[in-house]
């Protein structure tokens, strides 16, 4: 990556399969429209093939050209990939997003969960309006290390191995503490990182906790604590407004992030970023949702928020405050549309499909831009 900040940012766009294609199309239209509202750097968005359906048509699930483009781009915008019944000859599914995490060393899966006006209030407690936490999921090892390595023995036993390394745990823990520091500045509240593990049962998890504790000592301004993963599942339902930043291994993070999305009404408003030291990939936390694919029913909100996370990441990395302002404009436009309630996504029982939601958020951009200037 060059030292001098570029004026054009190359973005590799990988729409993938199912609703991934629909929400990506919407997000590209929104990013283009937002760009026209300011004089900041230009994003050059180029689309590349990848995914289960590309594989089923005779291509590769992750063609070398696409991987190269992802590696050379300033950031990757990713829809969703995977499709029922599309399998490799050995029975496993093509899951290019997991390959990209390994290839680009995207070790931190960042999943923010925030309630805002217009989202369903799933929990009856009024305090649930204050839900605002981030789950950081380690993404290059943990139980997912077993992918492609599991074995079934002649004795009729199956084994999948969890890998927890010191460097892997140190870097994801540091990431979580640094994120907590940034949130502390923004929210003006005490920062806290919670290590989510099962240290009372597994050696690997006790080691994860020990390494986390050694990193915690380097961040004296941030509180740290621990929770067992089962207790955290309960806390997420009982009092999620008390959470700040959570860090956990790959599989626990996979499960808890769907639970967390459920707290704000479903997958349609849960963004995510897969971040490493050199690369960043931004995608909604949801999958391809074959049940609603191609029907204009998907909520593009999670994808919009992922696009905003991409702008923030680029802004920070290349010292481009205009891009951070553009991210706020997108978030504000989405918040305005949902809060006014005239447009309600089908996911929440309304009538607005993907296209209607996209048009409404794009139409709200100028007002969002004005509101940000006035603040």
Q: Which residues bind ligand ATP (CB under 6 A)?
A: 19, 82, 266-268, 286-289, 291-292, 298-299, 302, 347
Query: Cβ 177 to ligand ATP, closest distance in Å?
Result: 29
Query: Cβ 183 to ligand ATP, closest distance in Å?
Result: 25
> Angle of helix 19-35 relative to helix 321-340, nearest 10 degrees?
120
Query: Cβ 349 to ligand ATP, closest distance in Å?
Result: 11
Q: With respect to ligand ATP, which residue has the nearer C-beta, 204 or 299?
A: 299
- CA atoms of 177 and 325, how far apart (whole Å): 24
Q: With respect to ligand ATP, which residue has the nearer C-beta, 14 or 227?
A: 14
- Neighbouring CB atoms inside 10 A of 245's CB total 26
Name 135's bridge partners. Answer: 111, 246
Query: Cβ 261 to ligand ATP, closest distance in Å?
Result: 8
Query: Cβ 302 to ligand ATP, closest distance in Å?
Result: 6
Q: With respect to ligand ATP, which residue has the nearer C-beta, 168 or 271?
A: 271
Q: With respect to ligand ATP, which residue has the nearer C-beta, 17 or 312?
A: 17
- Classify strands 245-248 and 271-275 as parallel, antiparallel or unpaired: unpaired
- CA atoms of 15 and 178, how far apart (whole Å): 30
Q: With respect to ligand ATP, which residue has the nearer C-beta, 82 or 118?
A: 82
**Two tokens, residue 229:** 């993963």
Are 235 and 242 contacting, i.e. CB atoms less than 8 angstroms apart? yes
Neighbour-count burial of 99, counting CB atoms closer than 10 A to its CB (0-12 exposed, 13-18 middle, 19+ buried): middle
Query: Cβ 237 to ligand ATP, closest distance in Å?
Result: 18
Query: Cβ 267 to ligand ATP, closest distance in Å?
Result: 4
Quick one: DSSP state of residue 292? T
**Two tokens, residue 197:** 């593990």
Q: With respect to ligand ATP, which residue has the nearer C-beta, 274 or 347?
A: 347
Only one residue has tokens 């928020």, namely: 305
Q: With respect to ligand ATP, which residue has the nearer C-beta, 31 or 80?
A: 80
Are 333 and 343 contacting, i.e. CB atoms less than 8 angstroms apart? no
Please name the residues in contact with 17: beta carbons below 8 A apart, sequence gap of 6 or more. Answer: 51, 52, 53, 79, 80, 81, 82, 83, 288, 293
Please name the residues in contact with 371: beta carbons below 8 A apart, sequence gap of 6 or more. Answer: 332, 336
Query: Cβ 238 to ligand ATP, closest distance in Å?
Result: 23
Q: With respect to ligand ATP, which residue has the nearer C-beta, 205 or 285?
A: 285
**Two tokens, residue 146:** 């077993």
Distances (CA, A) of 207 to 135, 149, 249: 20, 22, 12
Whole-number CA gyration radius for the chain: 20
Nearest residue to ligand ATP, scored by beta-carbon proximity: 287
Q: With respect to ligand ATP, which residue has the nearer C-beta, 288 or 332?
A: 288
Are 103 and 126 contacting, i.e. CB atoms less than 8 angstroms apart? no
Only one residue has tokens 């590696």, namely: 71
Query: Cβ 19 to ligand ATP, closest distance in Å?
Result: 6
């Amino acid at each position: 990556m060059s030292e001098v900040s570029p004026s054009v940012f190359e973005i590799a766009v990988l729409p993938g399969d199912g609703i991934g294609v629909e929400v990506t199309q919407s997000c590209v239209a929104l990013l283009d429209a937002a760009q026209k509202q300011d004089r900041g750097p230009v994003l050059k968005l180029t689309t590349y093939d990848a995914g289960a359906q590309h594989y089923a048509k005779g291509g590769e699930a992750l063609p070398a050209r696409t991987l190269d483009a992802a590696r050379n781009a300033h950031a990757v915008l990713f829809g969703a990939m995977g499709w029922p019944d599309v399998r490799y000859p050995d029975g496993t599914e093509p899951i290019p997003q997991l390959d990209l995490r390994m290839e680009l060393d995207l070790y931190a899966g960042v999943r923010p969960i925030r309630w805002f006006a217009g989202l369903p209030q799933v929990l009856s407690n009024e305090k649930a309006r204050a839900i605002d936490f981030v789950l950081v999921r380690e993404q290059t090892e943990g139980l997912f290390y077993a992918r492609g390595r599991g074995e079934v023995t002649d004795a009729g036993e199956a084994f999948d191995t969890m890998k927890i390394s010191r460097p892997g745990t140190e870097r994801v823990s540091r990431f979580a503490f640094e994120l907590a520091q940034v949130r502390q500045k923004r929210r003006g509240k005490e920062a806290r990182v919670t290590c989510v593990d099962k240290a009372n049962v597994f050696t690997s998890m006790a080691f994860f906790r020990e390494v986390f504790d050694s990193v915690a000592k380097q961040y004296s301004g941030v509180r740290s604590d621990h929770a067992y993963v089962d207790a955290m599942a309960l806390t997420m339902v009982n009092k999620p407004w008390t959470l700040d930043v959570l860090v956990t291994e790959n599989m626990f993070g996979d499960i808890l992030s769907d639970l967390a999305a459920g707290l704000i009404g479903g997958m349609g408003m849960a963004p995510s970023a897969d971040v490493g030291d050199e690369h960043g990939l931004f995608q909604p936390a949801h999958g391809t949702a074959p049940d609603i694919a191609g029907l204009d029913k998907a909520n593009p909100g999670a994808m919009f928020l992922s696009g905003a996370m991409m702008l923030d990441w680029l802004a920070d990395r290349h010292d481009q405050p205009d891009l951070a302002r553009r991210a706020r404009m997108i978030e504000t436009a989405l918040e305005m549309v949902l809060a006014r309630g005239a447009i309600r996504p089908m996911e929440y029982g309304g009538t607005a499909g993907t296209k209607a939601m996209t048009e409404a958020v794009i139409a709200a951009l100028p007002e969002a831009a004005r509101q940000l200037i006035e603040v």
